[in-house]
Amino acid sequence: MTRLRLATVRPQEPEIFHSLQGEGVSIGRPSVFVRLSGCNLACQWCDTPYTWFFEGHAGPHRGDRQYDRRANSVTLDIAEVVDRIRGFDCPHIVFTGGEPLLQQPALAALCERLGPDYHVEIESNGTVALTPGFAPCVHQLNLSPKLGHSGNAESARRNDAALAAYARDPRAWFKFVIAEPADAEEVAALADRHAIAAQRIILMPEGTDSATLHARSAWLAPLCLDRGWRFTDRLHIHLYGDTRGT
């Protein structure tokens, strides 16, 4: 029996939902989201801390509140996950988290059961390399390498070998969360180090409310124009607020 560890919208209810993609190159696209539980990083501004900031976690988070693991995660057989995905009658899937690439064997088994009619999109922090077993299942990689303001040590948040491989992968897009204009210099340094083409770089304002996103977009949009980088908003925040299952 192959099982996945999933985040929940409420105790024992997995966070599998149908919505519009809110970020990146697929923004606005109807998708089935499957949110996995667990992460290898601890971003202090993470907007899904309930996927990893469990009671007893030693890392910081600006919200301070820690979450009960049993109430905020559930383990399901992949057959049940497949049934839930098929119930939405939508061919586009986004595996997100947390860090979904920590569970690649189960994801590969799930995709095999789903069959070839689904477009699979992954949202990852870019520190975990694709495994040979799961790589053929993936159509699009939305990578979000973390910058210094995330609060993670550089040794934890940057895997140069994985980033170099992703930079050579035409399926990969690089989306950076930006809090201050100076963060762009860190992006530029990473792009130079790994020869990431400007058209594959996307900057997104950090924020979990419309007012913050609008304020940061005012200076981030022209910065993207100057650098030749893409800009993305956070559509789901404007539509639904900072809520689970949206």
pLDDT tens-digit series, residues 44-98? 999 999 999 999 998 778 888 899 999 999 999 999 999 999 999 999 999 999 9
| Phi and psi torsions of 43, nearest 5° | -75, 130
Tell me, yes or no, whether 60 lies in a domain.
Answer: yes
The CATH number given to whatever domain includes residue 123 is 3.20.20
Q: What is the pLDDT of residue 31?
A: 98
The model's pTM is: 0.97
How much is the pLDDT for 231? 98
Cis peptide before 98 (omega within 30 of 0): yes
pLDDT reported for residue 59: 79
- The tens digit of pLDDT for each residue in 133-178 reads 999 999 999 999 999 999 999 999 999 999 999 999 999 999 999 9
Domain count for the chain, please give it: 1
In 3D space, the residue among 82, 77, 111, 74 whose CA is nearest the CA of residue 3 turns out to be 77
Q: For 167-197, how does the pLDDT look when each residue is reduced to its tens digit (9 = 90+)?
A: 999 999 999 999 999 999 999 999 999 999 9
In a domain, 228, yes or no: no
Confirm whether 163 is domain-assigned.
yes
Residue 220 lies in a domain: no
Q: Is the model's pLDDT at 1 over the cut of 80?
A: no
CA 67 to chain centre: 20
For 200-228, write each residue's pLDDT tens digit. Answer: 999 999 999 999 999 999 999 999 999 99
Which pLDDT score is estimated for 64? 80
pLDDT of residue 176: 98
Residue 155 lies in a domain: yes
The confidence score (pLDDT) of residue 54 equals 96
Amino acid 115 reads: G
Q: Is residue 96 part of a domain?
A: yes
Does the residue 195 lie in any domain?
no
Per the structure, the complete domain to which residue 56 belongs is given by 3-172
Q: What value, to the nearest 5°, has the Cα angle with vertex 97 and ends 93 and 100?
A: 75
Q: Is residue 131 part of a domain?
A: yes
What mean pLDDT is predicted for residues 10-16?
Answer: 97
